[in-house]
């Protein structure tokens, strides 16, 4: 696994993030020695969604008002249905993801997280995957949607659901360690 010492990663999330889809990548990133901030819409804490009910809360480190793409080497968007739906209607969250893409910094998105990629205008022309229920949304946004456990294109790492987390975390850490690639590639 890559050593991410010196790398600063934003996990952008709000209430309703899929519990495992935030906590497992957070642990993997920290185990790789990355400095990770939970960035949200409001200060305080955000609460996860675990299966059929609310899950654990996690402390917010910074709000979208307090961050800039120049502060981070990468951004990750956890899934769940609620979290990305709330993020994609927040102009500052969408702008942050857009600006990270334009700065050619790695981006991770799992499950419904690619909704934010669509809203940020970065899905067009991207080979990616997502939870199957937003496959049509991805295609309508101009993405080349594929059914794979993890896909990397233009430094954007996408996966479908919690079962893909081991492959997703590994590939996200690899991309952050290498920095974003100019050429397109699919893993």
* Residues marked as catalytic: 112
CA distance 97 to 157: 13
Please spell the DSSP secondary structure of 33-65, one letter per residue. T-EEEEEESSSSEEEEEETTEEEEEEE--EEGG
**H or E, element range at 17:** strand 17-18
């Amino acid at each position: 696994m890559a050593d991410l010492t010196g790398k600063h990663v934003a996990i952008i999330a709000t209430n309703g993030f899929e519990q495992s889809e935030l906590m497992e990548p957070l642990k993997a990133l920290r185990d790789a020695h990355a400095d990770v901030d939970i960035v949200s819409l409001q200060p305080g804490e955000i609460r996860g969604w675990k299966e059929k009910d609310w899950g654990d809360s996690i402390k917010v480190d910074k709000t979208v008002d307090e961050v800039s793409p120049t502060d981070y080497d990468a951004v990750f968007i956890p899934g769940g249905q609620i979290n990305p739906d709330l993020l994609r209607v927040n102009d500052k969250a969408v702008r942050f993801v857009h600006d990270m893409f334009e700065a050619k910094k790695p981006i991770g998105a799992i499950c419904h997280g690619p909704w934010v990629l669509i809203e940020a205008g970065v899905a067009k022309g991207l080979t990616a995957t997502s939870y199957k229920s937003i496959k049509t949304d991805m295609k309508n946004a101009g993405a080349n949607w594929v059914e794979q456990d993890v896909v990397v294109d233009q430094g954007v790492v996408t996966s479908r659901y919690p079962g893909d987390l081991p492959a997703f975390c590994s590939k996200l850490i690899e991309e952050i360690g290498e920095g974003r690639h100019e050429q397109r590639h699919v893993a």
